[in-house]
A = this chain, B = another copy of it.
Amino acid sequence: MTLFSPEQLATLESQSIELPSWAFGNSGTRFRVFGTEGTPRDVFEKVADAAEVNRLTGLAPSVALHIPWDKIDDYAALRRHAEDLGVALGTVNSNTFQDEDYKFGALTHEDDRIRNKAIAHHLECIDVMDATGSRDLKIWLAEGSNYPGQTDMRSRQDRLNDSLRQIYARLGENQRLVLEYKFFEPSFYHTDVPDWGTSYAQVATLGDRAMVCLDTGHHAPGTNIEFIVMQLLRLGKLGSFDFNSRFYADDDLIVGAADPFQLFRILVEVIRGGGLNNPDVAFMLDQCHNVEAKIPGQIRSVLNVQEMTARALLIDHDALSAAQRANDVLGAQAVFMDAFYTDVRPALAEWRESRGLPADPMAAYAASDYQATIEAQRVGGTQAGWGA
């Protein structure tokens, strides 16, 4: 416990990481989606699983929804269900990539009928937000093209801007729009919002409540992601994170699993730029537990973010600044790495216990009967997944 100051512990205590409802459903690759016992059949069961993650970690007080995967008739009932379980409903994610009409675009489509349909879908998402009390509408666009010449990229940009303006205009005064960018996939030649610059240029035309969403898996190989974190915080436009990790493409692995040091560097810049526990910057997971257990996968993920935040908080900023000012490269690096290499796990475990949480949430879950119960109960029906 003496590892952390009271201020650092207060910071850690305030940390919250939103869970995506779809992380509890099945996911996979174009080659195969493997099912698992106990997988939720509907959004109520997804929220229950998310609440279990929060119960054991104290880190995940809200759940993001995906429309239409989580579309239901009575959002008020879902909201009560969530609140009963100690969590809130969070970001609403739109989906414009699974309707036949959207094969060649949605918010960028040349055909007004289709584009208006996609806009209407987003307005419907805002209706959901009104019902769930959600603040953020997150827009990830799968749109693009597979072949050079297939489409006119320039006019798509203009139509995108028009579509976003219409959606933005519908937002409530306490609601926001966050626009996610992605390097590639499912389009393989061009993507309409491929980089932070495009997302930034687009949202900058909308207004103060339009922000950029940074998914840590959506960059070109070698991209210095923490630089982008720094820049977007500096520009006042970092609206939210989608955390995951990757070795190759958008692998959607557990955050911190592929390159822990990268996660450390990202969190250092978050703290440096005032983005931690800043209501303007939402922390969220976006992952696919293709081969690992889903609920423990989410527990592991939020713990990874917590532990790495704790390491980042340990940087001795006075020593670091002094070494930086002196251009003492190795000295500065030593201060930086000292925080990374510090084993924060025992202190965090102790601190969790002091707050009435399990010292080891992974072990606590394994020792509980939650998994056995859901495997016994969730028989029949259709397991939730991306295709649903």
Contacts and interface: CB of A to CB of B under 8 A. Distances in A.
Interface of A: 27-32, 34-35, 97-98, 100, 103-104, 110, 142, 145-154, 157-158, 183-186, 188-191, 194-198, 200-201, 219-224, 226-228, 230-231, 233-235, 246-249, 251, 253-254, 257-262, 265, 269, 272-273, 290-293, 296-297, 300, 307, 320-321, 324-325, 327, 329-330, 332-337, 340-343, 345, 362, 386
Q: What is the copy number of this chain in the assembly?
A: 4
Nearest to A272: B154
B183 A248 contact: yes
A343 B342 contact: yes
10 contacts: A30-B30, A110-B324, A145-B291, A148-B336, A153-B226, A186-B290, A188-B246, A189-B253, A200-B201, A222-B248
A301 to B, nearest CB: 10
A230 to B, nearest CB: 5
Given A29-B185, A97-B32, A222-B183, A227 B194 contact: yes
A288 to B, nearest CB: 8
Contact of A31 (B97, B184, B190): B97
B249 A34 contact: no
Given A103-B327, A110-B324, A110-B325, 18 more contacts: A30-B30, A34-B100, A103-B291, A146-B292, A146-B329, A147-B257, A148-B333, A149-B336, A149-B337, A150-B329, A190-B224, A195-B195, A197-B228, A200-B201, A219-B220, A291-B329, A292-B333, A300-B333
A265 B260 CA distance: 12
Given A30-B28, A154-B273, A190-B224, A329 B230 contact: no
Contact of A253 (B188, B219, B227): B188
